[in-house]
Amino acid sequence: MSLDAKIPQGPLAEKWSKHKFNLKLVNPTNKRKYDIIVVGTGLAGASAAASLAELGYNVKAFCFQDSPRRAHSIAAQGGINAAKNYQNDGDSVYRLFYDTIKGGDYRAREANVHRLAEVSVNIIDQCVAQGVPFAREYGGLLDNRSFGGSQVSRTFYARGQTGQQLLLGAYSALNRQIHLGKVKMYTRTEMLDVVVVDGHAKGIVTRNLKTGAIETHSGHAVLLCTGGYGNVFYLSTNAIGSNVTAAWRAHKRGAYFANPCYTQIHPTCIPVTGDHQSKLTLMSESLRNDGRVWAPKTKEIAEKLRKKEITAAQVKEDERDYFLERKYPSFGNLVPRDVASRNAKDMTDEGRGVGASGLAVYLDFADAITRMGEDTVRAKYGNLFDMYYQITDENPYKQPMRIYPAVHYTMGGLWVDYNLSTNIPGLYALGECNFSDHGANRLGASALMQGLSDGYFVIPYTLGDYLAGIGMKPVDTNHPAFAETKKQTTEYVNKLLALKGTKTVVEYHRELGHIMWEYCGMARTEEGLTKAKAMIQELKADFWKNALVVGENDEMNLALERAGRVADFIELGELMVTDALMRRESCGGHFRLESQTEEGEALRDDENFAFVAAWEFKGENQPEELHKEELVYENVKLTQRSYK
C-alpha cells in the first residue's frame, strides 16, 4: 500500500502559504464548541495547547509529571536553529532546508523540511516576545553559534539552558490559558490508550498516577506530543520517565509507526561508568564549536592514559590525532552527529580509546582557552563545564573532557501526513513523537525548532481543516467505545499486577537495552539483527512469565508504571529490529556494516530504499505489515553525503 502524504501541489517555496489559504477555517464563535486533547506538555505540547486555547478551542492537556515544567524538553542544551542570517554569512531558508535534507541523508520529505525552515524565522520572534533570554552580542543583537552539519552560524541559544528557557516561555503561555479557563491541566496522569469511534480518534483512557483511577476523556481530536523512545536502549540521555507508551498504544489501535530503527547517537556524552547507571548525561554539541576532538595516535599511548601513567596534557601535539579535522577538513569538528559518533567508535575499536574503560575520546578546550581566555569560555559554556565537573570530578578547564556516543533522539515515530495527521483521522502527532522532518539523522538544534514549529505554527492551521469537516456535535464518553476501551485497559493493568515472578522489571529493561545497543545500535549486521529479534522474542515471553510487579492499582505504584512502559519497549524493540533488517542500506545514523563506501562512510541504496517505512500493527505476536511512502526529490539532487 502506498501512503498519501497530502503534500500540496506547486513550487516548494509556495506550498505552505498556498496550503494555508486552501485549508478550511473554523470561525471564532464555533471554536468554543470544540474540545481538543493534548497529551504531553513539552515544547510541542505546551505550544500547541497554548496556541489552540488562544484561538478559542477548549483544551484538555495531560502530562505524567507533577508540572509541565518537568517535560524532557527542559534538558535541551545547545540551541535552536533559525534561518535569520543575522551573521550575514550566507544563510537562508533554502540553505537550512538543504542542510536538513542532507543531514538526514536524503530520507525526509522535501515539503515538510522546507516548511520547517520557513517557520523557523517566526519561532525566534515568538520566543523573544515571550521573554526568552537568548544570548546577545555586545550591541544587543541576538547572538548565534554553529552546530554540526552546517557551515553557517544559525543556532540561537541561552547559554547551555536553551531547552529550559524555551519551555518556560511556552509554559508561561500555557499558564495564561489555564488561568483563563481555556486549558484544563491534568498532571500526574498517564495516557494508556486511544478511543476510536467510527474510525476517528475521539478520546483517551488515562490512569491517575496518584490514585490509580482509570478514566476516559473525550475530544474532537487528540494530539500526541509525547516525545521519543530512546529509552528502549535503557541507557540514553533521556529522562528516566521518557517512554513510548502513548505512541505505542496508538500504534496498536491502528496508527502506523514510521522508520522505527532510525535512532540518533549523540557523539558528546559523558561515558558510561558502570552498571549502577540508569541514564546518561549529554554534553551539548555546541561545545564542538571551540572544543577539539582527539584520540592518541597509537595504542601504546592510549594504554598509558588508561592506566594513568601519563596525563592528557603530557601527550605531545604530534602524538594526537584530531581525527575529525583530519578526515573532514571542510566541517572539522562540526560534522553531523552520526559522522562524529561513528568516527569516535572507530577510534575505540582500534584500541585508541581513553578513560578507564577505553570507551572515550577527548574533547579538548586548551586551544580555546589560550585563544579567548578562560573568562570568555566560562561565559559561553560555564554551566556545561560545571555539570561535567559535578558528575566526573574532573575540571574541564584544566584537562580535556572525556566523551563517547550515546542514544539521544529518535527520528522514527508515528507516521503523519503534511497536516501532522496520523492515518487515523482526528489523531495527530507533533514534535519528536512523529517521524516527519529529520530523515535518518537529526541535525543538532533542530529538535526544539520542530517542536515549536509544529505547536505554534502548523497545527493551529491544519487542525482547523479537520474540525471544520466533522462538525460541532459534542463527543460523549457514554459511547460504547469508551467503556470497551476502558475495560480493555483495566484488564491489561490487572494482567501486569498479576505478574509475581522473580525478576524485576528493571532487569528486563536493562537486558533489552543491552540487546538493542549491541545489535541495533551504532553498527548493525544481518546476522546480528536476526539474532536480536529472536532474543527479544524470548525476552518478551519470559517477561510475561517471570516478571515481578508489586503493589496494587489504587495507589501510587512506580513498579506498575515501569512495567507497562517496559512491556511496550520490548514490543517496540522487536519492530525496530524488524525495520532495521528490512532496510539493507546505510543512511545517516543507521549503519549497516554490509553497506559502506571504501572510506567507511554510510552507503545508501536510493534505488531500493528511498521510502518511508510505515508499519501497521496486525495483532499480538503477528508480523507487522509494511507500507511505503515513496520519497520524491525535485529540488535537491541525491548524492553521496560528503563533509570533507
How many whole angstroms separate alpha carbon 557 and alpha carbon 642? 50
- Pairing state of beta strands 200-208 and 214-218? antiparallel
Beta bridge mates, 258: 413, 614
Q: What is the pLDDT of residue 642?
A: 85
Q: Please, which residues have CB within 8 angstroms of residue 144's CB and are 6 or more apart in sequence? A: 84, 86, 87, 153, 154, 155, 156, 157
| Residues catalogued as catalytic | 337
Q: Which amino acid is at 107?
A: R
> 191, 204 in Cβ contact below 8 A?
yes
Q: Which amino acid is at 440?
A: A
Beta bridge mates, 190: 207
What cell numbers appear for 376 in the block? 570568555
Each residue of 325-338: pLDDT tens digit? 999 999 999 999 99
Each residue of 493-543: pLDDT tens digit? 999 999 999 999 999 999 999 999 999 998 999 999 999 999 999 999 999
Percent of the chain surpassing pLDDT 90 = 94
Each residue of 396-452: pLDDT tens digit? 999 999 999 999 999 999 999 999 999 999 999 999 999 999 999 999 999 999 999
Q: Please, which residues have CB within 8 angstroms of residue 179's CB and are 6 or more apart in sequence? A: none
Q: What is the pLDDT of residue 318?
A: 96
Packing angle of the helix pair 110-129, 15-22 (nearest 10 deg): 80
Each residue of 268-311: pLDDT tens digit? 999 998 888 889 999 999 999 999 999 999 999 999 999 999 99
Q: What is the pLDDT of residue 273?
A: 87
How many whole angstroms separate alpha carbon 146 and alpha carbon 641? 19
Confidence of residue 601 (pLDDT cuts 50, 70, 90): confident
Q: What pTM, to 2 d.p., does this model score? A: 0.97
Radius of gyration of the chain (CA): 24
CATH 1.20.58.100 residue ranges for the chain: 480-610
> 214, 199 in Cβ contact below 8 A?
no
What is the distance of C-alpha 251 from the center of its chain? 18
* Cα distances (angstroms) measured from residue 357 to each of 194, 320, 351: 45, 19, 11
Percent of the chain surpassing pLDDT 70 = 100
Q: Mean pLDDT, the chain, as a whole number?
A: 96
- Domain 480-610 matching CATH 1.20.58.100: the answer reads yes
Identify the CATH number of the domain defined by range 266-407. Answer: 3.90.700.10
> 78, 162 in Cβ contact below 8 A?
yes
- Pairing state of beta strands 361-364 and 401-410? antiparallel
Q: What is the pLDDT of residue 60?
A: 98
Question: 492: exposed, middle or buried (C-beta count within 10 Å: 0-12, 13-18, 19+)?
Answer: middle
Each residue of 217-258: pLDDT tens digit? 999 999 999 999 999 999 999 999 999 999 999 999 999 999
- Pairing state of beta strands 257-258 and 427-429? unpaired
Around Cβ 10, how many Cβ atoms within 10 Å?
Answer: 13
> 436, 631 in Cβ contact below 8 A?
no
> 195, 482 in Cβ contact below 8 A?
yes
What is the distance of C-alpha 72 from the center of its chain? 10
Residues 407-438, buried b or exposed e (16+ Cβ, 10 A)? bbbbbbbbbbbbbbbbbbbbbbbbbbbbbbbb
Q: What is the pLDDT of residue 503?
A: 97
The CB-side HSE value for 34 (13 A sphere, CA atoms) comes to: 28
Each residue of 352-401: pLDDT tens digit? 999 999 999 999 999 999 999 999 999 999 999 999 999 999 999 999 99
Q: What is the pLDDT of residue 1?
A: 57
Q: Is residue 46 scored above 90 in pLDDT?
A: yes
CATH 3.90.700.10 residue ranges for the chain: 266-407
